[in-house]
Amino acid sequence: MSIGEYPSTWLTEAGQAGRGGQAGHGQAGPGVAGAGPNGAGLSGGAPPGDLSGRLTALARVIQIGAARSGPEGFSRPLLTEAEQLVARAGERLRLSPSHTVAVLAGGTGSGKSSLFNQMAGADFSAVGVTRPHTKDPHACVWGMDGAGPLMEWLGIPHRNRYARSSALSEGEASLRGLVLVDLPDHDSVAAGAAVETNRLVGLADLMVWVLDPQKYADASVHRRYLTPLAGHSSVIAVVLNQSDLLTAEQAEDCVSDLARLLDTEGLHDARILVTSARSGAGLDELRKVLAETVTDRRAATDRIAADLDAMAERFVPYAGPARGTGLDTGFEDFAEVPPGSAVVLGESFSKAAGAAAVGQALQSARELRAVDYVGWPVSWLVDRSLGHDPVRKLRLGNLWEELRGISGGPAGAQQAEIDNALTAIGEQIGPTLPAPWSQTVRVAARSKRDEIPGALGAAIGDALPEENSVEPWWRLVAAWQGLLLGCVVAGLAWIGALLVIGVFHAVHHAAAIFSDAALLPWVGILIAAILALGWLTASGCMSMVSAAALRERSRVEAQMRSRMQDVAEQLVLMPVKQELSEYARFCSALQSARQ
Amino acid sequence: MTEGQGLAAASARATGADAAPAVDPVRPGPPPAAPPGSGPVAGPVIPGGGEAGRHRRVDARQLEAALLALRRRIVDVNLVYETEGAEATRAERRKLLSQIDDYLLPRIRQSEAPILVALVGSTGAGKSTLVNSIVGAQVSATGIRRPTTNSPVLACHPDEADWFAENVFLPTVPRVRQEGLARSGRDGLLVLAASEGMPKGVALLDTPDIDSVVSAHRDFAHQFLDASDLWLFMTTASRYADAAVWELLEYAKERGAALGIVLSRVPPSSGAELTTHFGAMLEANGLGENDRFVINETVIKDGRLPAEASAPVREWLQDTAVRADRRVAVLTQTMAGALDTFRSRVPALAAEVEAQLVIRSDLKAAVEGAYAAGLAEADEALADGSLLRGEILARWQDFAGTGELLRGLQAPRGRQGRQRKRGVPARARSLKSALRAGIESLILSVADRAAEESVRRWRNHPAGVALLDAFAAAEASQSWTGSQFAADAGLIFGTSAEAMPADVPDADGASAPGPLRQATLPLARSSADLQTHAVRAVSGWQDHVMRLVKAESVTKRSIARVMSFDDDSLATVLIVAMLGQRDVDGGAAEGTGTVPQLLLTSLFGAGPLREIGTQARADLHERMRRLFDEEMLRFVEVIDSPGELDDAAAVRLYQATYSLEMAR
C-alpha cells in the first residue's frame, strides 16, 4: 500500500465511462440494476426513482409552506431545516454515488482515531492520551476516482485527505468506494469541534458511533445524536471499542445494556459491534460491515430516505391529524367550500349593500315619477294651497329638487357587514383544517376585502335601470288627465257663465246653454264626476304603476342577488378554493414525500 | 480552637442549636499554614483564607433568622407567566430553596455535624470504587453497566449516623439504612451506610453521575452538591476534557465551594503527560488552587482499589476531619461561597419577579392597544361617511327622496295618531333600524378585529402563547358540556393556535391539538353576548339622541311655531347627518350629507346643531367604550388566571437579601 498514491487503474475520470463502468459493474455484482453502458459505473448506486420523486415532493411541501410561514403558520426553522435537507440530498445524489461516506463519531477518548488508523492501515490520524486530541476531521478513500468533489463537499482539509491504493491482496477490494472519516469528538470543551461534527454527521451516508465501556451511556451522545436519529437504524452502526479493558463476561453485560439503551431510543436495528483497536479484536467484523455497505451502495440513499422520513413526519401536523397518517384517506373528499356558501354570502352581501332598500327606493322613485304623469293634479293643487309643504314654509330653496334627485342610485356597501360575513365564512371552513390552514383560509377569504364594496356597488348599478324612464301609457294617461282637467276648467267656466248669465242675467240673448240656471246642479254634478273620474283614474293608474314597480323591483332585486353571488364567488370563494387546493396539494405532496 | 467551631458553630455550640442563644461569637481562626502534603499532586491549599481573615462577628441566630426571612420571600415568589427564562428561573428558585433547606439552615443549626463530602463526577470514573476503598467495605455497588449508581450512598462512622438519619439533613430526600452488603437501591432513595472504616468527623456521599443518559441523576447530584460542605470531584483520563466535566467545575467555582479533584484511571505510561495537561487546564480555568489527586488505572479487586491508590484521598479526608483549622476553613469557604452567590442570585430572581409585572402590563397593554385602535376606527367610520352606504344609504334615499322625510317631520298636530299616508312610519322605521344594524355591525366587526389582533399580539409574546394554550386546554376540557351551547352561539370556530407541535411526530400527539387549537378561538372573536349588548347600546343611543332633539326643539320655539316635528324622524335625520358630517366638512359632498345638514341647520341653527352632534357622538363613543371594556375583561381574566402577582414581591426580596448581608 502506499499513501496518497493513486494507482493507474483507479485514475479513471468520471467522464471516462467505459472503464469506470466495467469496474463499477464488477464491484457491484450482478444484483445492481441500472448499470447501463453510459457512465453506469459511477451511477451504480443511482437513487431509486422514487427517492428523487420524494425529494421533489418535499421541495413542493417546502414551497407551499414557505408562503405560509410565521408564528401562526409553518415554523421557519423547520422549513429552513427541510430546505437544507433537500439541498444536501441533491448534492449528495449528484456527487459520486459510487462512494459511500462512513464517519467514525464518538466521544473524546473513545478511540475513533485508533480505529480509523487500524482500518486505514496507517497512522493517518494522530492518536494521543491528552484530551481532546483530534481537532479536525481526517478522511481516507478507498478508490479515488470521482471522490475529489465529494471530499470538497465534505469539507475535509487537504492535508487530512488520504487515499488507499490497490491492496486488493489484503482483501480490501471490497472496501473500494469507501470514504472513511475520522471526526473530532462532540463532547469535549474544545469549542467548534461539535459544530464540525454535527455538520459531518449530517452529511454521512453511514454513521459509525464509537463508544467505549466508560462512556457508552453518556447523555452527550444519546440525547444529542442517537435519540434524534431514531429511524436511521439502517445507516447506523454502534461500535463498543476498548473491549480489551473488559472480560468477556463484562463485555457481554455491557453490550446487552447498550442494546437495551438503543432499543429504548428507537434504534432497534442498529448493528452493535465489539472491537478493540488495541488488540485488533472485532476489526474484521467492522471491515465486513463497511464492505457490505459499500457493496450495497445503498447507504447514501438509505440515509437520505431516513432523513426524509423524519422530516416528512415533522410536517404531518400541518396536514392535520387524519390526513397526515398516510392511511387511505383520499385527498378529494375534505375541506371543500360548503355548498350553499355562495348563496349565504350573497345574502349577506345583499344586506351589506342594501339590495332590498335599493329595490324599495327604486319602487318609490318609479311611483314618484309616475305621479307626475298619472297623478291627479287637483290633489296636488289642494295640498299645496292648504300649506302642507314644509319645504316651502322653511324656504329651503332647492332642497326639494335635491331630495327628488337622490333616489335609487348605487349605494355601495357597508364595510363592517362585509367583514362580518367574511369572518363567518372563514370560520365555517377554518375549523375543519389544521392550524396554519385555518388561518390562511381566513386570510384568503379576506384577501380581496377592499374590492368587495366597489364590486357590490357596481353589481347594484348594473342591475338598476338606466334612467327613471317614462312609460308611454303614462303620457296617454297624462293627456287624459289633462283633458279631464280641461273639462273641469271648462265646466267651471260654464258654471261661471251660468251664474253670470243665467242667474244674474248680466248678458242677454245668450244661448240657453249658458243661461239656463236650472243647468247649474247638472254642471256641478258633471264637474264633480269629472273630478271623481280624474281621482279614480289617478288612483287606478297608480295602483297599476305600483304593481309594475313592484314587479320591476323584484326583478331588479333578483338580478342584484345573483350578481352579489357572482361577486361572492369571484372575490371570496375563488381565493378560498385556491387556498384549499393548495392545502390538497400540500397533503398529496406530503403523502408522496412520506412514501 | 476545638472541633465544632465552624463559621456558625461560633454561636451555636451548645446542644440544641435552635435553643441556644447566640452568646459567644468568635472570629474564625487565621489561615493555618499548609500542612505537609497529603495529596500526591498538590498540597491542600487552604481555601477561603481571605474569608476567614475578615474580621467580623457572626451571629448565627441572626443569620438563621435572616435566612428564614429570605426563604419565606423566595417561597412567595410566583412566576406565573412564561418567558424565555421562566423555566430556568423556577429551577433557580427551587435550587435556592433547596440550598437553604438542605445545606445552610442545617449547617447553621448543627455546626458540629460531620463534614459532608460529596463525591461527584463522570459516570464510570470509579466513584463507588473509591468510596468502597476508603471505607474498606463494599458499601456502594460497582459494575460495568453505566450508570452504575442509581441511588446515592452516604458512608459515615456508625457513631455519627444519627446526624444524617434525622430529617434535618436533606429533609426532602427519603432514606434507608443499609443492612448487609451493597445492593442496588431504588432511585431517589438515599442509602445510609454506617461503617467502622470511615474516619470520624467526615461523611462521604457517593452520588449518581452527572453525565449519563439518566438525566434525573444530574439533578439529584446537584442537589447533593448543594447540600455538601466539601466537594470531591472525580473524572478520568479519557474524560477530563468533556464539556460536562467543565460545566460542573465551573459551577463549583461559581459556588465557591471547597473542592478536591481526583483524576482516575490514568494509564501509568502516560501519567505525567496527562497530569500536566489536566493541571494546565485547571489553571487556565482558575481552579489550580484546589487539591488534586491522581489514581492510576489498576486492577480492581472486590470492587476496591489497592490500598496505596486510595490512601492519599483517605488521608486527606481524615486530615480535614481531625484538624480544626482545616475543618473551619472548609466550612467557612463553602458556606461563605454559598451565601456569596445569594448576592447576585436573589437579585436576579427579584429582577425576574419584576419582569413578571412588566409582562402582565405588556399583555394588558397589548389588549388595550388593540381595543383602543378599534374604538378609534369605529369613531372614524362613524364620522367619515363610510357608514352611509348600502342599506343605510338606500333607506335614506327612499325615506328622503320620496318626500316621506318632509312629511315625517310634520308630526301629527292636533289629532293624535293621524297618518297622512300609509308607509310613512314604515320608511322612517326602516331607516332607523338600518342605522341601528349598521352601527351594530360596525361595533361587531371592530370588536372581532380587536379580539383577533389581541390574540395575534399575544402570540408574539411567549407569555401570551402560554396563556392562550392554557386557555385552550381549559376550554377543551369544558367543551364536553359547553360545545352544544357554544356551537349554537356560533362560538366554536377554529383559529390557528400556536404553530403546532412540529416536534410531536406521533399520531397520538398530533390528534390531540385539534380541539385545543379550536378552543382558543372564542377569545379571538368578540364574545357571544356582544351582539345583544350592542343592540341595546345602539338603540339606547338612538333614544338618547331623540331626547336631545326633543329638548332642543322645545327650546327653539320659533321653529315649533312654523311647523311641528316628529322627534323620532328628526333624530334619525340627525344621525344620518352625523354619519356624513366629515363629507360635508371636507367638501366632498355626495348629496347625502348636505340634505340633512341643510335641513337641520335651518331647523336648529348651526351652533346648537353642532352641540347636539357633539353630545350625541360623545355619548355613542362612551357606550362603545363600555362595550369594549367588557370585551377586554375576558382577556384580563385570562391574564389573571395563572395567579395573582404581588407588586411588592421584588422589593421584599431585595430587602431580605440586604438583611442577610447585614446578618453575616
Verify whether the Cβ–Cβ distance A403 to B595 is below 8 Å: yes
A65 touches chain B (CB under 8 A): no
Residue B555 binned pLDDT confidence (cut-offs 50, 70, 90): low
Which residues in B lie closer than 8 A to residue A435 (C-beta atoms)? 496-500, 513, 517
Q: Is A444 found in the same domain as A365?
A: yes
Verify whether the Cβ–Cβ distance B591 to A414 is below 8 Å: no
For B1, B202, B331, B388, B466, the CA distances from B6, given in Å and listed in that order, are: 10, 14, 6, 86, 47
A435 touches chain B (CB under 8 A): yes
pLDDT digits (tens, 9 = 90+) for B172-212: 777 777 765 555 555 667 888 888 888 888 898 888 888 87
d(CA A109, CA B158) in angstroms, rounded, equals 40
Helix (H) or strand (E) segment spanning residue B560: helix B557-562
Contact between B329 and B628 under an 8 Å Cβ cutoff? The reply is no
Contact between A572 and A349 under an 8 Å Cβ cutoff? The reply is no
At B149 the three-state DSSP class reads: coil
Q: Is A242 found in the same domain as A356?
A: no
d(CA B599, CA B574) in angstroms, rounded, equals 10
Nearest CA in chain A to B503: A314
Q: Is A247 found in the same domain as A160?
A: yes
Verify whether the Cβ–Cβ distance A354 to B496 is below 8 Å: no
CB B502: neighbour CB atoms within 10 A? 18
A2 within domain boundaries: no
A360 within domain boundaries: yes
For residue A475, the Cα-to-chain-centroid distance in whole angstroms is 62
> Which of A467, A483, A131, A102 has the alpha carbon at shortest distance from A299?
A102
Nearest CA in chain B to A349: B390
Averaged pLDDT, B594-614? 75
Verify whether the Cβ–Cβ distance B513 to A435 is below 8 Å: yes
Interface of A with B in 339-378 (CB under 8 A): 351-354, 356-358, 360-361, 364-365, 367-368
User: In terms of residues, how long is chain A?
Assistant: 595
Encode A324-358: b = buried (16+ Cβ within 10 Å), e = exposed. beeeeeeeeebbebeeebbebbbbbbbbbbbbbbb
B108 touches chain A (CB under 8 A): no
At B54 the three-state DSSP class reads: coil
**What single-letter DSSP state applies at residue B104?**
I
B599 touches chain A (CB under 8 A): yes
Query: Tell me, what's the pLDDT at B38?
Result: 36
B123 touches chain A (CB under 8 A): yes
A222/chain B closest Cα distance in angstroms: 7
* Mean pLDDT, chain B, integer: 75
A332 within domain boundaries: no
A98/chain B closest Cα distance in angstroms: 33
Query: Tell me, what's the pLDDT at B48?
Result: 38
Q: Which amino acid is present at A539?
A: S
Verify whether the Cβ–Cβ distance A390 to B602 is below 8 Å: no
> Which of A150, A163, A139 has the alpha carbon at shortest distance from A14?
A150
Q: Which amino acid is present at A388?
A: H
B501 touches chain A (CB under 8 A): yes
d(CA B48, CA B588) in angstroms, rounded, equals 84
A188 within domain boundaries: yes
Q: Is A374 found in the same domain as A295?
A: no
Report which of residues B235 and B47 the model is more confident about. Answer: B235
The order of strands in the sheet holding B291-296 is B175-177, B190-194, B153-156, B202-206, B115-121, B230-236, B258-266, B291-296
pLDDT digits (tens, 9 = 90+) for B466-483: 888 888 888 777 654 444
Q: Is A441 found in the same domain as A517?
A: yes
Q: Which of A260, A284, A319 is the last residue of a domain?
A: A319
Nearest CA in chain A to B274: A130
A461 within domain boundaries: yes
Verify whether the Cβ–Cβ distance B123 to A217 is below 8 Å: yes
Verify whether the Cβ–Cβ distance B563 to A394 is below 8 Å: yes
Best of B215, B299, B384, B406 to disrupt the A interface (most A CBs within 10 Å) is B406
d(CA B168, CA B105) in angstroms, rounded, equals 9
A318 touches chain B (CB under 8 A): yes
Which residues in A lie closer than 8 A to residue B538 (C-beta atoms)? none
How buried is residue B380: exposed, middle or buried, by Cβ count under 10 Å (0-12/13-18/19+)? exposed
d(CA A545, CA A537) in angstroms, rounded, equals 12
Range among A36-50, A316-330, B25-39, B312-326 rated most confident? B312-326
d(CA B446, CA B370) in angstroms, rounded, equals 10
A83/chain B closest Cα distance in angstroms: 15
Q: Is A191 found in the same domain as A126?
A: yes
A263 within domain boundaries: yes
pLDDT digits (tens, 9 = 90+) for B43-97: 333 333 344 434 444 578 888 899 999 999 999 888 888 888 888 898 889 889 9
pLDDT in tens, chain A (595 residues): 333 433 333 333 333 333 333 333 333 333 333 333 333 333 334 445 688 889 999 999 999 998 888 777 788 899 999 999 999 998 888 888 888 899 999 888 888 888 888 888 878 887 777 777 777 888 988 887 778 888 888 888 888 888 876 554 456 677 888 899 998 888 877 766 678 888 888 889 999 999 988 888 888 888 888 888 888 888 999 999 988 888 888 889 899 999 999 998 888 888 899 999 888 888 889 988 888 888 888 888 889 999 998 898 888 888 876 544 444 444 444 567 788 888 889 888 888 888 888 888 888 777 777 877 888 888 777 766 665 555 555 555 555 555 555 555 555 677 888 888 888 888 888 777 787 888 888 888 888 888 888 888 888 888 877 766 778 888 898 898 889 889 888 888 888 888 888 777 777 776 777 777 788 888 889 888 988 988 898 889 889 888 988 998 899 889 888 988 999 999 999 999 999 889 888 988 888 888 7
Q: Is A148 found in the same domain as A80?
A: yes
To 5 degrees, how large is the angle CA B183–CA B186–CA B191? 65
Which residues in A lie closer than 8 A to residue B267 (C-beta atoms)? 129
Which residues in B lie closer than 8 A to residue A356 (C-beta atoms)? 391
pLDDT at B527 over 80: yes
d(CA B296, CA A141) in angstroms, rounded, equals 38
Q: Which of A319, A350, A385 is the last residue of a domain?
A: A319
Q: Is A485 found in the same domain as A383?
A: yes
- pTM, two decimals, is 0.74
CB A152: neighbour CB atoms within 10 A? 12
Verify whether the Cβ–Cβ distance A414 to B391 is below 8 Å: yes
Q: Residue B52: which residues within 8 A CB-CB, separation 6 or more?
A: B28, B29, B30, B31, B328, B329, B332
The shortest CB-CB distance from B507 to any of A219, A325, A407 is to A325
Residue B451 binned pLDDT confidence (cut-offs 50, 70, 90): very high
Contact between A409 and B397 under an 8 Å Cβ cutoff? The reply is yes
pLDDT at B561 over 80: no
Considering its fold, how many domains does chain A have in total?
2
Q: Which of A286, A319, A352 is the last residue of a domain?
A: A319
Contact between B256 and B336 under an 8 Å Cβ cutoff? The reply is yes
Nearest CA in chain B to A313: B505
Best of A414, A440, A442, A443 to disrupt the B interface (most B CBs within 10 Å) is A414
B213/chain A closest Cα distance in angstroms: 4
Verify whether the Cβ–Cβ distance B500 to A73 is below 8 Å: no
B169/chain A closest Cα distance in angstroms: 30
Q: Is A268 found in the same domain as A225?
A: yes
Strand A161-164 relative to strand B258-266, pairing: unpaired
Q: Is A192 found in the same domain as A80?
A: yes
Nearest CA in chain B to A367: B402
Verify whether the Cβ–Cβ distance B397 to A413 is below 8 Å: no
A579 touches chain B (CB under 8 A): no
Nearest CA in chain A to B504: A314
B391 touches chain A (CB under 8 A): yes
Domains of chain B: residue spans and CATH: 9-352 (3.40.50.300), 384-464+527-640 (no CATH)
Report which of residues B601 and A425 the model is more confident about. Answer: A425
Verify whether the Cβ–Cβ distance B599 to A399 is below 8 Å: yes
Least confident of A216-220, B28-32, B166-170, B462-466: B28-32
Query: CATH number of the domain that A151 lies in?
Result: 3.40.50.300
> Which of A54, A60, A52 has the alpha carbon at shortest distance from A90?
A52
Verify whether the Cβ–Cβ distance B505 to A314 is below 8 Å: yes
> Which of B132, B173, B185, B172 has the alpha carbon at shortest distance from B155?
B132
Q: Which domain holds residue A351?
A: 341-594
Verify whether the Cβ–Cβ distance B517 to A435 is below 8 Å: yes
Where do the H-state alpha helices sit in B136-266? 161-165, 215-226, 243-255
Interface of B with A in 352-381 (CB under 8 A): 381
pLDDT digits (tens, 9 = 90+) for B125-153: 888 888 888 888 888 877 777 777 777 88
Joined together, the cell numbers standing for residue B241 give 476534557
Q: Is A530 found in the same domain as A426?
A: yes
Where do the H-state alpha helices sit in A132-215? 147-154, 193-203
The shortest CB-CB distance from A431 to any of B492, B498, B563 is to B492
A290 touches chain B (CB under 8 A): no
Which residues in B lie closer than 8 A to residue A403 (C-beta atoms)? 400-401, 403, 405-406, 595
Verify whether the Cβ–Cβ distance B401 to A393 is below 8 Å: no
A1 within domain boundaries: no
Query: Tell me, what's the pLDDT at A399?
Result: 54
Q: Is A583 found in the same domain as A452?
A: yes
Interface of A with B in 204-233 (CB under 8 A): 212-220, 222-223
Least confident of A140-154, B517-531, B646-660: B517-531
A576 within domain boundaries: yes
